[in-house]
Chains A and B, each alone.
Chain A
Amino acid sequence: MFDFSRRPGTLTALLIGGAVALLGPGSASAEEKGEVNIYSYRQPYLIAPITEAFEKETGIRVNTVFLAQGLEERIQAEGANSPADVIMTVDIGRLENAKQMGITQPVTDEVIERDIPAQYRDPEGHWFGLTTRSRVVYASKERVEQDTITYEELSDPKWKGRICIRSGQHVYNIGLIASMIAHHGEEATEEWLRGLKNNLARRPEGNDRNQAKGIFSGECDIAVGNTYYVGVMATNEEEPEQKEWANALKILFPNNDARGAHVNISGMAMAKNAPHPENALKFMEFATRDEAQHIYAEKNFEYPVKAGVPASDIVASWGEIHPDELPLAEIARYRKKASELVDKVGFDEGPSS
C-alpha cells in the first residue's frame, strides 16, 4: 500500500488532483452558449433519438442527466443556480408535482399551443404532453374469448384467480386507480379495488412485462399493463422467445366504446431558473414537430399527442384507441387518495384465499 508517512506530499497531490478531476464535469460552466440541459425521468435510450436529431439540426449541444427519483427535489435545492433547462418525464402526477413545487415556468408559445391538444397541456402553460400510453388489459388469445372489456369488469368474480398486475403502488396503477376515483368516487373505487384484489392470480409483483409473461405461462388469463411493453417484447431480437410471449396475448382497450381507455402522458416542462431559456424553447418546439413526434413515440411504442402524426405500425396494429377524455390534471388530484386506498385494502398482499 501507499506509504503516507514518507511522502505526505504525494498523498496531498493525489487528493487535490482527484478533487479537481471529480469536480471537473460539474463545473463545466452553465453560462456557455449553445447548450441545453435536460433533467430526465425518461431513460437516455428513449430520448437519445430526438436529442441527437436536435443537435444535428441546430448545433446546440444537449446535456442530459437521468434520474430515478428526486428530480424535483434536486432542482428545488439547486435553486437560482440550477443548470436545468428542460424537465422530461412520464406520468401526469410528476408533471403536476413539478408545477406545484414551483420549479417550472409557464411557457406561452404559438407552436406548442397549436400542436398540442389542450387536454394534454397545463392550462397555465407549465407543462405539456409529448406522447400518450394507455393502461390496457392484456388477454390470453387462447383462454379469453371476449374482445372488449371494461376496467369496472375487473372486479367481477368471473375473473377470480385469473388476473395478474404489478404493485398497486406503482405510478402507472396509481394513475389508473386515480382515474377510477375521478369517475366513480372514492367508495365505489375502494369496493372495486377489493374485488380486483380478490380476483388476482398471485401477489402483485414484478413489472408489466412479468404480467404479460404470466399469461404466456398460464398463470393468469388477463393482466393489466401499459401498451408499449407489448411492442418491446414483440421486437426483441436478442431474446426472440419474447415474441412468443407477446404473441400469446391480445390487447384490449378497456371502455373503448364508452368513456375511453385510461391514458397517461410523457411530457416536458421548462425549469424555473433555466439558464438557456431560448435554447430550451427551441428544443420544446422541435419536440412538437411531426418527425420528432413520430420518432419519439415510435421508440417506445407510444402514441404521438399531435393530431395527424401516425403511430408506428406495431402500435397501429393493436387497433383504434379511444382515450378517456377526462383532463389529466383532474385525475392527478386523486393520486394521494389512490395510494391510500391501495394500502387500505391491502392490495399488495394479494388475493386473500
Chain B
Amino acid sequence: MTPQEPLLSFRIFSWRRRGARNALGGHRLLSGLAWLVTALVLVPLVAVLVIAMGSSQGVWPHLVSTVLPHAVRTTLLLMAGVAILSSTMGVVAAWFVTNFTFPGRRFLEVALVLPFAMPLYIAAFTYIEFFDFTGPLQTAIRAAGGYTSVREYWSPEVRNLPGAIVIMSSVLYPYVYMTTRLLFLMQSVTALQVAQTLGCSRFSAFFRVAVPLARPAIAIGITLCLMETLNDIGAVDFLGIRTLTFSVYDTWLNRGSLAGAAQIATVMVGFVVVLIAAERAARGRQRYHVGRAERGRFRITLKGWRAAGAAFLCSMPPLLGIGIPGYVLLDFASRRLAKFAHPELLAAATHSVTVAAATGIVTVVAGLVLAYCARLAASRFQHAALKVALIGYAVPGTVLALGILVPLARLDNSVDAFMRATFDVSTGLLITGSAAAIVYACSVRFLGVAQGTIEAGLSKVTSHLDMAARTLGRTAQQTLFDVHVPLMKKALGAAFLLVFVDSLKELSATLLLRPFNYDTLATLVYSRASRAAYGDAAIPALLIVLVGLVPVVMLLKNAAPAAPERRGSG
C-alpha cells in the first residue's frame, strides 16, 4: 500500500460524486446545513468587523507610538513561551506514558489530563496566592530563615512574563497531551522498530520518527493552546502582562473607543489566520498515516533512576496545573464548609451544566456537518470556507460576545417591530438576554474544538467505506448516519466532552449575555474575585473543577483504544 492510494481513490470518488447527481439528494441538505452553520459562525465575526469600521476617534497614533510595540512584543514572547513549554510538557509526558512502564504510570496517565478542568483565570489567582508573601512557600522560607520582611530573602515571583508562561502552559498543555497521546497510541510500533533496526536509539527515534509523525496532532494541540493564550484577559490582567488583548480592553474601556478595540481584535484574528495557514503550508501536501492501534504493544519497563526520572517528568505538569491551584482552593474552601450548602451554588451549577451540555450538542452536530462536508468538498475554496469555525476561538471573549449581541438584538427588534405592525403584539427581546444567546456565543467560540476532533476521527475512517456505501446505494446523508456516526462514536463523544469542559470554564461571553438572576459557576467566581474576595470565590471555583473532572476522566477512558476495538477495523 502506497501513501498515495487513499488520496488517489478519494479523487476518483469525488469525480464520481460530481458525475452522479441523482444520488445527491441528501448531500444537498447537508451542504445547505454546512453553509448555514458557516453563516451563523460568520455573523458575529462580521459584526465585529462592522464595529471596527466605526471611527476609532484617533486612538491609532497613540496606540502605534506607545502601546503596540510593547504589546506586540509581549504577546509574541508569551505565545512563543507557551508554545514551547506546553508542547514540551504535553509531548514528553505523552511519550512516556505510552511507551514505558514505570511506577505510578497508570495514575499519571489520568492525572496529566486533569489541569484541563482548571480555568486559566483561577489558576492565575491561585498561583499569586501560593507564591505570595503570606502563601505557604514564603511562609516556609521565613520560618526556616527567621526572616520577617520580604526584602531579606529571595522567592520566585509569578507576576511577570516567565511566571505567566509557566502558569498558562501548566493548565493548557493537556490540549497537546490529549491529542498527542492518542496519536502515539495509534502510531505503529513497526515504524519505531524499523527506526531502531536502522540504528536509531529509543531516544533519537523519539525525535526522528515519533515526533515528526505526530506533527498534525501536536500542531492542533499547540494551536488550541495559543488561541487560549491570545484571547485570555482574566489571567494576564491578574498577572500584569500587557498583551494585545489587554490593549483591546483598555482602548475600549478607558479611551472610550470600541471601534479602536475591535480594530486591534481584527488585526489579532488576521494574525492567527496567518499562523494557521503557515503551519498548514509548511506541512504542505504531506500525508500522515498512522497504522492501526496495536494493543498489547509492549511498553519498555523502566527501572531505577530511569523509572524515577520518568515518574518525576510526568508528575510535574499535573502538579503545576492542578496540584498548586487545587491546594489553594481547598485551603480557602476548608474555612467555608458551611457555604457549600448555599442554594445559589446549586442553581449556578445547574445553569453551568445546562449551558455546557447544550453547547456540546450544538457544536457536535455542527462540527459533524462541517467535517463531513469538508470530506466531500471538491474545491479548495469550500475546504477553506469550512474552516472559518476556528477563527471564533481567537477573538477575545467579550468582543465576540458584543459581535453576537448586536446582530441578535437587531434581529429581535425587527421581529418585534414586525409583530407589532402586523398583529399588534410585542414579542420583546426573544433571544437577546436569554441563555440561548450564551449557547450561541460558546458554540461559535468552541466549534473549532469540536470540528477539529471530529475531523481527526473522520480521517481515520477509510474512504473505501464511503465508496462501498455509496455503491450500495446509500446517499451521502445515509452514509453519514449508517457508516460514519457509528464508527465515530468515540470522536463525537470526545468532541462533546471537550466542548463541555471549555464551556463550563467560559466567563466573558456568559457575563455579558446572560439573563436576569442567572448565575453560572464561572460568573459566581468572577463576581467574588472581582472584589478581591478570593476566598469566597474558591467554592464555586472548586465546583467548576470538580464538575469538569468528570468529563475529563471520561474523555481519557473514551480515548483509550481498548482491545475489542480491533475487531471492527481488522
Check if A and B associate.
Answer: yes
Residues of A within 8 A of B (CB): 1, 3-5, 14-15, 18-19, 21-31, 37, 43-46, 63-70, 73-74, 77-83, 93, 97, 167, 169, 171, 174, 203-210, 213-214, 216-219, 229, 232, 236, 238-239, 241, 245, 300, 335-336, 338-340, 343-344, 346, 348-349
B518 x A81 contact (CB < 8 A): no
A241 x B255 contact (CB < 8 A): no
B436 x A23 contact (CB < 8 A): yes
B175: Cβ under 8 A from any A Cβ: no
CB distance from B21 to the nearest CB of A (A): 24
What 11 new A-B contacts, CB under 8 Å, besides A68-B508, A203-B240? Answer: A21-B354, A22-B434, A25-B515, A26-B435, A28-B515, A45-B531, A68-B530, A69-B249, A70-B401, A203-B160, A206-B240
B195: Cβ under 8 A from any A Cβ: no
Which residue from A4, A65, A69, A81 sits with its C-beta under 8 Å from B428? A81
A45 x B512 contact (CB < 8 A): no
B254 x A203 contact (CB < 8 A): no
A73 x B255 contact (CB < 8 A): no
- Which residues from chain A contact B242 at a C-beta distance below 8 Å? 348
CB distance from B327 to the nearest CB of A (A): 15
- Which residues from chain B contact A66 at a C-beta distance below 8 Å? 511, 523, 527
A27–B433 Cα gap in the complex (Å)? 8
A31–B428 Cα gap in the complex (Å)? 9
CB distance from A334 to the nearest CB of B (A): 12
Which residue from B148, B258, B434 sits with its C-beta under 8 Å from A27? B434
Given A1-B493, A66-B527, does the pair A15, B240 have CB atoms closer than 8 Å? no
A83 x B516 contact (CB < 8 A): yes
Which residue from B256, B335, B406, B434 sits with its C-beta under 8 Å from A77? B406
B361 x A26 contact (CB < 8 A): no
Q: Would you call the interface of chain A mostly helix, strand, loop, or mixed?
A: helix
- Which residues from chain A contact B429 at a C-beta distance below 8 Å? 26, 30, 78, 81-83
Which residue from B150, B355, B439, B493 sits with its C-beta under 8 Å from A217? B150
Given A167-B240, A219-B133, does the pair A37, B482 have CB atoms closer than 8 Å? no
- Which residues from chain B contact A229 at a C-beta distance below 8 Å? 532
Given A74-B512, A81-B413, A167-B240, does the pair A340, B517 have CB atoms closer than 8 Å? no
A1–B364 Cα gap in the complex (Å)? 12
A25 x B435 contact (CB < 8 A): yes
Which residue from A22, A29, A218, A335 sits with its C-beta under 8 Å from B150? A218
Q: Would you call the interface of chain B mostly helix, strand, loop, or mixed?
A: helix
Given A37-B516, A69-B253, A216-B133, does the pair A4, B481 have CB atoms closer than 8 Å? yes
Given A14-B361, A25-B435, does the pair A343, B67 have CB atoms closer than 8 Å? yes
Residues of B within 8 A of A (CB): 62, 66-67, 70, 128, 132-134, 148-151, 159-160, 237-240, 242, 246, 249-250, 252-256, 258, 332, 335-336, 354-355, 358, 361, 398, 401-402, 405-406, 409-410, 412-413, 416, 426, 428-439, 481-482, 485-486, 489, 492-493, 496, 508, 511-512, 514-519, 523, 526-528, 530-533, 535-536
- Which residues from chain B contact A241 at a C-beta distance below 8 Å? 134
B524 nearest in chain A by CB position: A44
- A-B pairs, 10 with minimum CB distance: A26-B434, A218-B149, A205-B240, A217-B133, A5-B481, A63-B516, A339-B254, A77-B409, A22-B435, A343-B66
CB distance from B179 to the nearest CB of A (A): 20
- Which residues from chain B contact A43 at a C-beta distance below 8 Å? 527-528, 530-531
- Which residues from chain A contact B409 at a C-beta distance below 8 Å? 77-79
CB distance from A237 to the nearest CB of B (A): 9
CB distance from A248 to the nearest CB of B (A): 11
Which residue from B62, B432, B433, B511 sits with its C-beta under 8 Å from A68? B511
Given A31-B426, A217-B150, does the pair A65, B516 have CB atoms closer than 8 Å? yes
- Which residues from chain B contact A77 at a C-beta distance below 8 Å? 402, 405-406, 409-410, 432
A340–B60 Cα gap in the complex (Å)? 11
CB distance from A160 to the nearest CB of B (A): 14
A22–B405 Cα gap in the complex (Å)? 16
A344 nearest in chain B by CB position: B66
Which residue from A22, A205, A236 sits with its C-beta under 8 Å from B354? A22
B528 x A45 contact (CB < 8 A): yes
CB distance from A35 to the nearest CB of B (A): 9
- Which residues from chain B contact A73 at a C-beta distance below 8 Å? 258, 402, 405-406
Given A4-B485, A73-B258, does the pair A23, B430 have CB atoms closer than 8 Å? yes
A239–B438 Cα gap in the complex (Å)? 35
CB distance from B163 to the nearest CB of A (A): 10
A44 nearest in chain B by CB position: B527
Which of B149, B435, B482 has the most C-beta atoms of chain A within 10 angstroms of its own C-beta?
Answer: B435
A37–B428 Cα gap in the complex (Å)? 15
Could you list 22 examples of A-B contacts with CB < 8 Å?
A21-B435, A23-B436, A25-B518, A43-B531, A69-B253, A74-B405, A77-B402, A78-B409, A81-B412, A167-B237, A204-B240, A205-B239, A206-B238, A206-B240, A208-B532, A213-B134, A217-B149, A239-B332, A239-B335, A339-B254, A344-B66, A348-B242
A152–B240 Cα gap in the complex (Å)? 25
B331 nearest in chain A by CB position: A239
CB distance from A103 to the nearest CB of B (A): 13
B491 nearest in chain A by CB position: A1
